[in-house]
Chain A
Amino acid sequence: MAIEFDPTSATFDRDFYSNIKAMRENCRAYRHEGTLIPAVSVFRHADVVPMLQDWENWSSGRSEIMKKRGFGIASIMVGDDPPDHTRYRKLMAPFFMPVSVNSFDEIISREIDVAMEKCLNAGEIDLVEDFAGPIVNGLICKICGIPEEDREFIRSKAMLVAAHYGKGLFWKEPNPEIEAIIAKVGWEFGFYFIQHVEVLKKSKTPSILSTLSEQLAEPREIAAICALMIAAGLETTTNMIVHGMQELIRHPLQMAKLRCDNGLMNSAIEEMFRFRGTLRRHERVAVHDSKIDDVEIAAGDSVILWNASANRDPAVFDRPEEFLIDRTPNRHIAFGSGIHTCLGIIMARAEMRLTFQRLLDATSSIEETRGGDSYESYGNGVMDVAKRYSVKLIG
């Protein structure tokens, strides 16, 4: 019987890890039949990592494809190969290196203070909307000089994108409704950021965006870089906090272990990234014709590299389906690999470390409030996006 692997199916998100396990065990590569964009999925660590690293043969230059699917504005840098990629990355990198991120700790802690005050001993809360979202959004907005009154606009638009992001590659028919939603967000972000940067410049407000804009010639580039920062930095870490907590609650022994031994915090966070990384796949475009086992890949085909599958590959990880907070070594690829390795690694780790430290310090217990209905997902599938997580934080 032919294996079917359809990331657009209604049950794909719910059964994601069993789907991906079956694919990894049964084939190295899978040709998606009938998709508008020719696409091949790859599952094993030994294939995914070298392909992520080999930008000359597996290109990220997919801006044209992304534009057709309404994602053009956010595909700058991540949708480019060198030398364009290198130029943008060098502009952005200094803001996300350890020395710079160290200065974010105070901002993150302040956002956590506000969220804790609202959520601790407050009965049922939504960990997505009341806690994780505001913390991560607060940091991004602060470093981008975005005023408090605009935070809701930023978060709501970013969520719209996250709910649908990445599925276009698997469509078998055009989906004008979703394309219109995403394109509209792109235009709204573009319009907002071009104006916002002008305001920052006029008021001489120091922020990452005003500094970046001085080095970018075109308004399109400024808007795209801003949109990328929001897209890459907001929903990824928000969902990581939510899903990290969900795994701790699902694994009470691991939660107890972490509460007893603060020294395990860093390895616990790495395990959260491995086990539930938000971005489940990366995309590349084949530069040459090639073949993986009996699957032929033509130049121009899209290749979907399932890092979430690689992160549970038993060839690399012992007991890969278990959530073990003291796992070491833990060479996961939740942040990708190669020249496109996530620029926000250090920032994401700082947000996770400070948030989980505070959550565990301030609570005696964290519990789901609606049993099996406590968690609701957007059902995206190719990205792990939570809609709601009903819990209570008990001091």
Chain B
Amino acid sequence: MIEIEIVDSSGNSHILSGDSGETVRDVAEGARIVGAMGECGGFLACGTCHIILDDSWAGRAGTANDDELFMLNGAIGRQPSSRLACQMTLDETLNGLIVHVCTA
């Protein structure tokens, strides 16, 4: 199991765990964390699972591909460490990941 921390839009921290191969969105869906579940169910169709990597993880959690960047271009409150939760697939390197639901 891989442990991640999602900080919701109210600033509450949720320590959650998921299996390798699941996405951050899948884990958020299981915990019903509004703002990280997205509308479309993880198909890169809506851009509504906008999360921001914690400063401590900036540059350490992979990079967005062109399709993800396309969707992020339309997001409000985009930051250099913005990602879509549906595009972040868990593996051992993300153990301890901390992300924040975008509140913009």
Shortest CB–CB separation between residue B74 and chain A, in angstroms? 2
Cα separation A89 to B74 with both chains bound (whole Å): 14
Number of A-B residue pairs at CB separation under 8 A:
51
**Neighbouring A residues of B48 by C-beta, 8 Å:** 345
- Across the interface, A341 reaches (CB within 8 A) one of B34, B43, B76, namely B43
A53 at the binding interface (Cβ < 8 Å)? yes
Closest chain B residue, CB of each to CB of A94? B74
B70 contact set on A, CB distance < 8 A: 90, 93
Q: Which residue of A lies closest to B67 (CB)?
A: A90
For residue B71, which residues in chain A have a CB less than 8 angstroms away from its CB?
93, 97
A90-B70, A335-B39 known; A99+B45 contact, CB < 8 A: no
23 A-B contacts (beta carbon < 8 Å): A93-B70, A93-B74, A94-B73, A97-B71, A97-B74, A97-B75, A98-B47, A98-B75, A98-B76, A99-B75, A99-B76, A102-B76, A328-B34, A329-B32, A331-B37, A337-B39, A337-B41, A339-B43, A339-B45, A341-B43, A341-B45, A341-B46, A345-B39
CA distance A94 to B73 in the complex (A): 8
Complex Cα distance, B4 from A193, in Å, reads 50
Report how far A331 CA is from B42 CA in the complex, Å: 14
Contact with B along A75-115 (1 / 0, CB 8 A): 00000000000000110011001111010000000000000
Inter-chain contacts of B76 with A (CB < 8 A): 98-99, 102
Q: Which of A8-53 contact B (CB under 8 A)?
A: 49, 53
Q: Which of A98, A102, A329 has the most B CB atoms < 10 Å from its CB?
A: A98
Q: Could you list 6 further interchain pairs (A-B, Cβ under 8 angstroms) beyond the known A94-B73, A99-B74, A100-B74?
A: A97-B47, A97-B71, A97-B75, A328-B34, A338-B43, A338-B45
With a cutoff of 8 Å between Cβ atoms, the chain B residues found around residue A90 in the complex are 70
Please indicate the chain B residues that have their CB under 8 angstroms from the CB of A97 in the complex. Answer: 47, 71, 73-75
CA distance A94 to B39 in the complex (A): 17
- Across-interface contacts of A102 in B (CB, < 8 A): 76
Is A280 close to B, CB under 8 A? no
Give the CA-CA distance A329 to B40 in the complex, in Å.
16
| Shortest Cβ distance from residue B24 to the other chain A in the assembled complex, whole angstroms | 17
B71 to chain A, nearest CB (A): 7
Q: What's the dominant secondary structure at chain A's contact region?
A: helix
Number of residues of chain A lying within 8 A (CB) of chain B: 21
A392 contacts the other chain (Cβ, under 8 Å)? no
Q: Is the Cβ of A338 less than 8 Å from the Cβ of B41? A: yes
Q: How far, in Å, is B86 (CB) from chain A's closest CB?
A: 12
A340 within 8 A of B: yes
B43: chain A residues within 8 A (beta carbon): 53, 338-339, 341
Q: How far is the CB of A362 from chain B (nearest CB, A)?
A: 27
**Contact between chains at B39 and A341 (CB < 8 Å):** yes
Within 8 A of A (CB), among B18-63: 32, 34, 37, 39-41, 43, 45-48
**Which B residues touch A338, using CB under 8 A?**
40-41, 43, 45
Neighbouring A residues of B39 by C-beta, 8 Å: 335, 337, 341, 345
Chain A positions within 8 Å of B45 at CB level: 89, 338-341
Complex interface: chain B residues within 8 A of A94 (CB): 73-74
CB contacts (< 8 Å) of A100 on chain B: these are 74
Q: Which A residues between 311 and 341 are near B, CB-CB below 8 angstroms?
A: 328-329, 331, 335, 337-341
Q: How far is the CB of B69 from chain A (nearest CB, A)?
A: 12
Q: Would B40 and A339 count as touching, CB distance under 8 A?
A: yes
Complex interface: chain B residues within 8 A of A337 (CB):
39-41
Distance (Å) between the CB of A105 and the closest chain B CB?
Answer: 12
In the complex, how many angstroms separate the beta carbon of B39 from the nearest chain A beta carbon?
6
